[in-house]
A = this chain, B = another copy of it.
Amino acid sequence: MTTLTLGKALNMGLRKAMEDDPKVVLMGEDIGKLGGVFRITDGLQKDFGEDRVVDTPLAEAGILGTAVGLAMRGYRPVCEIQFDGFVFPAYNQIVTQVAKIHARSRGRLPMPIVIRIPFGGGIGAVEHHSESPEAYFAHTAGLKVVAVATPADAYFGIQQAIASPDPIVFLEPKRRYWEKADVDTDATPDPLFRSRVLRAGDDLTLLAYGPMVKTALQAATAAEDEGRSIEVVDLRTLSPLDLDAVYESVRRTGRCVVVHEAPTTLGLGAEIAARVTETCFHSLEAPVLRVGGYDTPYPPSKLEEDYLPDLDRVLDAVDRSMGF
């Protein structure tokens, strides 16, 4: 058992994956000597060399496009996108190529590519550094999308993602990079594409992923003081969604709230609301409520506290749900 920050857990997970499989190649901007702007790849170029930790030219389409070629040649590229808002130059390669080549080739060309994206806000940054683009990827068939919330999931999740034969958008909650927890690196991890109930409860099912998991847990604790018993689920996988435990939970609680930072319209909450309602229709005592970012661009940092879902907004949604 070691105490690790989420960032360090990723670093160790990457190192382990590189040791286990010589075909793993890291690519990205500033990931070499600098170790990435968040130091997630710290020390890896020094130990594995410039052929396995590639400081690329400043071009995200280039990173993803060459990753496709490397994958065709049997490599397992792990691409770092420096910040969420800079994934869009690579969007064409991700959506029209990475996501489609397995289907196009009828399985002859697997695309075991991991796209690491530090995502979400709350770090006081300038424009494009605090976004939550997950819905764009979860709507794209051919991709899988996961979001980690804890050091342990970060450590194991990055290894599982790299070992997976499919392209995976791997979302890292950047504002939680410095948060610590115990990690048992010898444990047998949960499967990657599985949600997890973090806290049992009877009155309402609260769903979150990535940076909002902590907020959801805090909300559940606060609600407890008011005598409300909230079940908290960390979704972990955004595509495919793993909602069986959620359905089971909602059938018991009759109420459901989903939290994410991304703009609410067509955010993950929309899909989850639609599915939960379709599956648990007769059990629902209130509509599934969503707590998300507003349908606006991410604001200047002085306004991000107003923009982001927080404890109070989650509790407000809980109240509204209970009021139905």
Contacts and interface: CB of A to CB of B under 8 A. Distances in A.
Interface in A125-165: 127-128, 135-136, 138-139, 141-142
A286 interface: yes
A266 B138 contact: yes
A103 B297 contact: yes
A204 interface: no
B273 A277 contact: yes
A139 B266 contact: yes
Contact of A141 (B99, B263, B278, B290): B263
- State the copy count for this chain: 2
Contacts of A88: 91-92, 95-96
Contacts of A239: 265
Contacts of A267: 139
A129 B95 CA distance: 14
Interface in A49-86: 85
Contact of A128 (B96, B281, B297): B96
Contacts of A142: 296-297
A101 to B, nearest CB: 10
A37 interface: no
Classify chain A: how many residues form its interface, as a range.
35 or more
Contacts of A268: 266
Nearest to A60: B92
A19 to B, nearest CB: 35
B96 A139 contact: no
A34 interface: no
Given A281-B287, A324-B281, A266 B135 contact: yes
A212 B14 CA distance: 46
A288 interface: yes
Nearest to A127: B104
Contacts of A92: 88-89, 91
B265 A139 contact: yes
Given A289-B278, A297-B141, A266 B266 contact: yes
Interface string A256-276: 000000110111111101100
A271 B281 contact: no
Interface of A: 85, 88-89, 91-92, 95-96, 99-100, 103-104, 127-128, 135-136, 138-139, 141-142, 239, 241, 262-263, 265-271, 273-274, 277-278, 281, 286-290, 294-297, 324
20 contacts: A88-B92, A88-B95, A103-B296, A136-B136, A136-B139, A138-B265, A139-B262, A142-B297, A239-B265, A265-B271, A266-B266, A266-B268, A266-B271, A270-B270, A270-B273, A274-B287, A277-B277, A278-B288, A278-B289, A281-B287
Given A99-B297, A141-B295, A274-B288, 12 more contacts: A85-B96, A88-B92, A91-B95, A100-B127, A100-B297, A141-B294, A142-B297, A241-B265, A266-B266, A269-B274, A277-B288, A281-B286
